[in-house]
Amino acid sequence: MSTQVATRENKALAPMSVKALFAKDEVKSKFQEMMGKRAASFITSVLQITSQNEMLATADPVSIYQSAAVAATLDLPLNNNLGFAYIVPYNSKQKDGSWKVVAQFQIGAKGFKQLALRSGQFLKINDTDVREGELKKHNRLTGEIEFEWIQDAKERLVRPIIGYASYFELLNGFEKTYYMTVDELKDHGLRFSQTFKKGFGLWKDDFDGMARKTVIKLNLSKNAPLSVDMQKAVVADQAVVKDAETEDVEYVDNDEPDMAITIEDIQELYELKKAALTKDEQEAARRIIDNKETASYHKLHKLLTSK
């Protein structure tokens, strides 16, 4: 479905309630195509989480539909108790100055781990908080990180949390640990979430969950091979989805995706992948890198990781 078709469809569906929209035959058929016999129960879960959240119940129904479509495409259940993926409301300021509640798609730490394991390339993947006294060595040049874990559970729980770490090992033996301090994570949250700056939202209400998700997501997006589903997940996470099929998204809580891609990341990836690029792609990549067009980093990153 093209973006123009999706836009016309969105306008046609906009006046409907969430329940009425998901009762339409074409919507049911769409989810049946993606999920088969599980479509009915999936739609029921979407209606349940919508009705149980007072603010989400007032959100634009089409934005809820598009977020649900991404979750269905990734085969991630929408159940807040499971922690794989969420649809959350966001009060978005419109161009005319008015306000509109829209649905924002978010993936949890378990969702990213599930997608990684499903790719068939990972042997292990995990995350943890890091307590005072457990970080023994962090060589920022080589990336080597050494921990000494406190084995006594009671003793460990009374120690303050100083950071969070994620780890994965691929079937080919490659392994990577990614660590961020609590202060670094708070700065990251403030950079990528306007709601956190204002003192509310998931970063405020569930800092532990967002911190774990962040170290997993950044470790995967920076260091791991990204499957097609993982690329889609990274782009759609924390976005209002305009079209699930074309990956047309808007980052209403910030103007860029929560990927923290640096110019160093882009340059390194470009050198590894430039031989696989067409002449036009190479020229576009060089322009983005040379001019430091930060707004285009995530699109270039997606292109390079697909090669």
Report whether pLDDT(305) > 50.
yes
Residue 8's SS3 state is helix
* Mean pLDDT (whole number) for 106-117: 94
Per-residue pLDDT of 34-72, as tens digits, reads 999 999 999 999 999 999 999 999 999 999 999 999 999
pTM here? Answer: 0.76
124-168 per-position pLDDT tens digit: 999 999 999 999 998 888 888 999 999 999 999 999 999 999 999
> How many other C-beta atoms are found inside a 10 Å radius of the C-beta of residue 53?
16
pLDDT greater than 50 at residue 193: yes
% of the chain with per-residue pLDDT over 90: 54
DSSP summary character for residue 178: E
Question: Which sequence spans correspond to the domains of the chain?
Answer: 1-107+237-257, 120-224, 261-307
The highest-confidence range among 4-8, 168-172, 195-199, 275-279, by mean pLDDT, is 168-172
User: Can you list the alpha helix ranges (DSSP code H) found in the chain?
Assistant: 3-13, 18-23, 25-35, 39-51, 61-74, 109-118, 153-158, 182-192, 194-197, 202-205, 207-223, 228-236, 263-273, 279-290, 297-306
Beta-sheet pairing, 85-93 with 175-181: unpaired
Report the DSSP beta bridge partners of residue 68.
none
Which residue shows structure tokens 């599930």?
114
Nearest to 19 by CA among 40, 42, 50, 41: 50
CA distance 283 to 240: 31
Residue 4 has pLDDT above 50, yes or no: no
Mean pLDDT of the chain: 87
Q: In terms of C-beta distances under 8 Å and separation of at least 24 residues, what long-range contacts does 31-38 make, across chains too?
A: 31/68, 31/69, 31/72, 34/69, 34/72, 34/73, 35/72, 35/75
pLDDT of 121 over the 60 cut: yes
User: Does residue 3 surpass a pLDDT of 50?
Assistant: no
Cα–Cα distances in Å, from 64 out to 22, 79, 112?
Answer: 10, 14, 21
- Residue 261 pLDDT exceeds 70: no
Exposed / middle / buried, residue 111 (Cβ in 10 Å: 0-12, 13-18, 19+): buried
